[in-house]
Amino acid sequence: MARILLLGGTAEAAEIAARLAGDNRLDTVTSLAGLTQLPTPVAGRTRRGGFGGPDGLAATLTNDRYDALIDATHPFAARIAAHAAEAAERAGVPRLKLVRPPFQRLTGDTIHDASSIGDAVALLPSGARVFVAAGRREAAAFAARPDLWCLVRMIEAPAFGEPLPPGELVLGRPASDWREEAELLRKHRVEWIVSKDSGGRAGAKIVAARNLGLPIVLVSRPKAPEGPVAESVGEVVDWVEATLFASAPSDVSGEG
């Protein structure tokens, strides 16, 4: 039985786990960082907590005899991606990085590119009403702009004393329907959107901003480490099949 370590925490990772769990040739373990509660249970076996950097991850891959590593973490989890690449190379284990496609840009979009959250904060005009949908860790950067009114969305409530910008906090996950996102923006009279270029399901807010004619500050995603990548769950499953179960070439010499 082949063993796979799946670095998860995303919707795609949960889909991969569900697809692989039905294959009796595989023993798949999904690793979860434990930062937030997932909306649905993950199929198969799971583990929580870190590995102790690339050294610890490499040791886990070797000692637990994993045959493959799939990195399906968030596109902005650059440190984890780098650790996964280094650890897999050390352990001599094949690795695949799932990189969901970025947001599709259309003619007429008003998008201001930012290389970092700090750049995004600096781009906003004084007095703007801003929807901050860039993650809880990044929301603190907007507290340095008291001239802004910010609608901040978090999946879980902030810790006591966690810095937040002036405005309002809403708890919940991004809606999959852009109309729901548009209603949220209209209700709070939002004028600007700040988002990471995460792609995927979070694109509903980008579609909502597009339909409302709102400008978007889009933070560029970090570059993925060198190595094989997939853009969909189906491509990941195909890679597993080709990498772990492809038949060896025939040894027939062809001599007559």
Q: Check which CATH number belongs to the domain holding 24 and give it.
A: 3.40.50.720
Question: What per-residue confidence (pLDDT) applies to 33?
Answer: 76
Question: What per-residue confidence (pLDDT) applies to 134?
Answer: 76
Flag whether pLDDT at 6 surpasses 90: yes
Within a domain: 106? no
Flag whether pLDDT at 203 surpasses 60: yes
* pLDDT band with cut points at 50, 70 and 90 for residue 28: very high
203 shares a domain with 117: yes
Within a domain: 119? yes
Question: What is the rounded average pLDDT for all residues in the chain?
Answer: 89
> Residue 198 belongs to a domain with what CATH number?
3.40.50
* pLDDT band with cut points at 50, 70 and 90 for residue 200: low
Q: What is the pTM of this model?
A: 0.84
Flag whether pLDDT at 217 surpasses 70: yes
Within a domain: 173? yes
Neighbours of 63 (CB within 10 A): 9
pLDDT in tens, 110-165: 999 999 999 999 999 999 999 998 777 788 899 999 999 999 998 888 878 888 89
Question: What per-residue confidence (pLDDT) applies to 65?
Answer: 96
Flag whether pLDDT at 167 surpasses 90: yes
Task: Report the number of distinct structural domains present in the chain.
Answer: 2
For residue 82, the enclosing domain spans 2-101+222-244
- Give dist(CA 234, CA 208) in Å, integer: 28
- Give dist(CA 89, CA 85) in Å, integer: 6
Residue with tokens 């005009």: 125
Candidate from 37-46, 69-78, 121-130 with smallest mean pLDDT: 37-46
Question: What per-residue confidence (pLDDT) applies to 251?
Answer: 42
57 shares a domain with 17: yes
